Amino acid sequence: MRAERLRLLAGLALALALVLPLLPLALWSLAHGWRFPDLLPQAWSLRAWGVASSAGVLGSLGLTLGIAAATTALAALVGLPAGRALGLHDFPGKRAVLLLLLVPAVLPGIALVLGLHDLFLRLGLTGSTHGVILAHLVPVLPYMVLVMASVFAGFDTRIEAQARSLGAGPVRCFLQVTLPAVLPGLLTGALFAFLVSWSQYLLTLAIGGGRVQTLPLVLYAYVAAGRNDVAGAIAVLYALPGILLLLGFIGRITGRDLGRVLRP
């Protein structure tokens, strides 16, 4: 009984922590002017949401989603074999590889951006969506590879030998035995990958050269222009995927789905 109540409290606290910072933004998005001493806006308007649902902003939302999805898919494609190698085998230079993997996560973002920008310019990859996707892979891959490495460190390869000796070829063995076994880890890695790509600002700005307008770039433009109402609406849009993903994954992370946590 006590454990149930604690769990309910924890669920509520989590929900509050997620929702509270969004509240002022949501209010801003609906305000028709909101001056200082007023606790709440005096007049309301849907004008900001009109801008936020314009073709330009929605296109930007779609682009951001597409870039994050593509980055995640590529990271999974690289992360699966790389994580397998790191998790299952000992080889000379393994520690160096792990260290190098961590560098993008440890390095100050601005240093990373400057170095990458120079490199991407030489390669002619700036100003394009695929260039931005490649650039996003740099901070995203460490998460994916390290998650997959820890998944494979606990993986018994004899289960693959077992599947093969029961008549499964290498492809079916991977799809029907290996993949289901590592799927929970892969989804966790993908969650991180998606969110890290989703929240990139500096990298997108530098590598995209202003031509790849993801949602954070649009959002920042409205903030800089002093349009708090539109910025509020876009910020709500921008925060939504993270919250939805977290709600969807909380079951996997805690071992139960949110409905069961919140049910008294």
250 sits near other proteins (criterion: CB under 8 A): no
Q: How far is the CB of 177 from other proteins (least distance, A)?
A: 6
**Residue 252 engages other proteins in binding (rule: CB under 8 A):** no
Applying CB under 8 A, among 156, 175, 199, 248 the residue interacting with other proteins is 156
Nearest CA-CA partner of 204 in 174, 230, 238, 173: 238
Q: Kindly state whether residue 158 participates in binding other proteins, applying the rule CB under 8 A.
A: yes
Nearer to other proteins, 125 or 173 (CB): 173
Contact status: 154 vs other proteins (CB under 8 A)? no
Q: Is 171 in the site for other proteins (CB under 8 A)?
A: no
Q: In terms of Cα–Cα distance, which of 164, 194, 192 is closest to 177?
A: 164
Residue 98 near other proteins by CB under 8 A = no
Question: Collapsing DSSP states into helix, strand and coil, what is residue 44?
Answer: strand
Strand partners, 44: 31
Told to check if 180 binds other proteins by CB under 8 A, we report yes
159 binds other proteins (CB under 8 A): yes
The distance of closest approach from Cβ of residue 183 to other proteins in the complex, given in angstroms and rounded to an integer, is: 8
Q: Residues 26, 181, 202, 258: which binds other proteins (CB under 8 A)?
A: 181
Among 91, 165, 224, 264, binds other proteins (CB under 8 A): 165
Q: Which residues bind other proteins (CB under 8 A)?
A: 156, 158-159, 161-170, 172-173, 177, 180-181
